[in-house]
Structure 1
Amino acid sequence: MDDDNRLARWQRHTEIPLAVASFVFLTSYAVRVLGHGHLTDAVLDLCLALTFAAWALFGADYAVRWLLSGQRWSFVHRHPLDTVVLFLPLLRPLQIVKAYDAVRRRHGRPWLTVHARVIVYAGLSTVLLGFTGALSVYHQERGAPGATLRSFGDAVWWTCSTLATVGYGDFTPVTFRGRLIAVGIMAVGLGLLGAVTGTFASWLLHVFSHEDDERPPGD
């Protein structure tokens, strides 16, 4: 029980700092990718240092939570998403949405219903995922032999069509890492799309059911 309390206190105290670190990580990585060839080496090196510093902070947080949980290896199995994010830190900015929700819950009643929160947070997660996915695939594809994604705009268009499960085929990654990123975006995109459509359908059923309950007998 003491381990649970210590873990809860640690998570409560580190939510905002980690959210800030996630923002720093994404910003510094974006500046390095988009500023390549336009910024000085000193600025790019600073962004690289900030990126690795934020990543190290994520690793330290994971290690502390692993120790405080008292579960050791079962902690890894019970928190698969945290483990994946540790090795794929570009997904870490998605935690900003989760941290924002947790802070609002502690300071009062959430300002949206459950259905609305799922839709809004899924939408925000989709935007963050699309931006990070476009950055990462552009980072891997630019300059590759036979690459079709020659600009960040191409990467954004490709990411949007992939997340929407449209897949026009006008742009396709040619590198191994680019294709791995594509597989991840497809999988997460399907999940987020299913969450939004399923929640919207559930909300409609709830509304219609509530209207039927309020309707006078015999109508």
Structure 2
Amino acid sequence: MDHDSREARWERRTDGPLTAASLLFLATYAVRVLAEPSLSEPGRITCDVAMLAAWAVFAVDYGVRWRYSGQRLRFVRTHPLDTLVLILPLLRPLRFVKAYERVKRRRGQPRLPLYGRVIFYSGTSALLLGFASALAVYHQERGAPGANIRTFGDALWWACSTLSTVGYGDATPVTPMGRVIAAVMMAGGLALLGAVTGSFSSWLLQVFSREDDERPPGGTPGA
């Protein structure tokens, strides 16, 4: 039994629980940030415990895949995205970029359903990344001297303009951590949007190629 197959089976089995843990982390973080002024002390503790439990699930997953890979310390270098997600769980939507890479490596089998799933998952991940980044930036910027992101609505507007690469510049982070979050979001957003556009282009090319293959020899369009 090779290590790659064990790691692949582990990833398939844990995909659902890890997705649930990601949603739990995002939901409790949203409550922690948006309801902070009126959140009671028991409520804060509950949110913190839930976030810590979700992070523990990510840590266990990372440790198991590290062991199954058999790469020891090289695992950290060969899985930079997984390491980044472990440090910053809000970036877990970026792991869907790996699905795009798997589709590109497939050979021989029809890939249209896979491309559709990559487009759906990457688009959804971009939305989740934007929401998570808006929460994180709002958490850092509110109340900061000279900040122009004062409400969560401002943070959402900033996230939309940043993800779409428009960048109006009317709302920008001023704190060091806010700018770090912005830089990570720009890089992650480009990766996810690249997966969407790349998969859509490949899907169109495959459709056109299939139509050419099915066209009778010597036939003409409309004949």
Deviation at 1:141, TM superposition (A): 0.6
Q: Partner of 2:11 in structure 1?
A: 11
- Contact 2:81/2:95 (CA < 8 Å) preserved in 1? no
Structure 2: give runs of 5+ residues left out of the alignment.
100-109
* More moved, 68-77 vs 27-36: 68-77
Q: Does 1:147 align with 2:150?
A: no
Between the aligned partners of 1:65 and 1:198, the Cα distance in structure 2 is: 28
Counting only pairs closer than 5 Å after superposition, residues 202-213 of structure 1 correspond to structure 2 as: 202-213=202-213
Deviations 1:120-177 (A, max 9, x none): 1111111111111111111111111111111111101100000000001110100001
Q: 1:115 to 1:93 in 2, by over 3 A?
A: closer
Deviations 1:81-133 (A, max 9, x none): 1111111111125558989xxxxxxxxxx9x6233222211111111111111
Deviation at 1:23, TM superposition (A): 1.5
Aligned length: 209
- Over the aligned positions, Cα root-mean-square deviation in angstroms equals 2.6
Deviations 1:27-62 (A, max 9, x none): 111110011112212112210111112112211221
Deviation at 1:16, TM superposition (A): 2.4
Q: Partner of 1:31 in structure 2?
A: 31
Q: Does 1:157 align with 2:160?
A: no
Q: Partner of 2:85 in structure 1?
A: 85
Q: Partner of 1:103 in structure 2?
A: none
* Paired-residue identity, %: 62
Q: Partner of 1:106 in structure 2?
A: none
Q: Partner of 2:218 in structure 1?
A: 217
Between the aligned partners of 1:97 and 1:193, the Cα distance in structure 2 is: 9
Structure 1: give runs of 5+ residues left out of the alignment.
100-109
Q: 1:178 to 1:192 in 2, by over 3 A?
A: same
- Contact 1:19/1:93 (CA < 8 Å) preserved in 2? no
Query: TM-score normalised to the size of structure 2?
Result: 0.83
Q: Does 1:127 align with 2:127?
A: yes
Query: TM-score normalised to the size of structure 1?
Result: 0.84
Counting only pairs closer than 5 Å after superposition, residues 56-135 of structure 1 correspond to structure 2 as: 56-93=56-93, 113-135=113-135
Between the aligned partners of 1:120 and 1:68, the Cα distance in structure 2 is: 29
Between the aligned partners of 1:97 and 1:35, the Cα distance in structure 2 is: 32
Q: Secondary structure of 2:198's match? A: helix
Deviations 1:6-32 (A, max 9, x none): 544543443322222211111111110
Q: Secondary structure of 2:134's match? A: helix
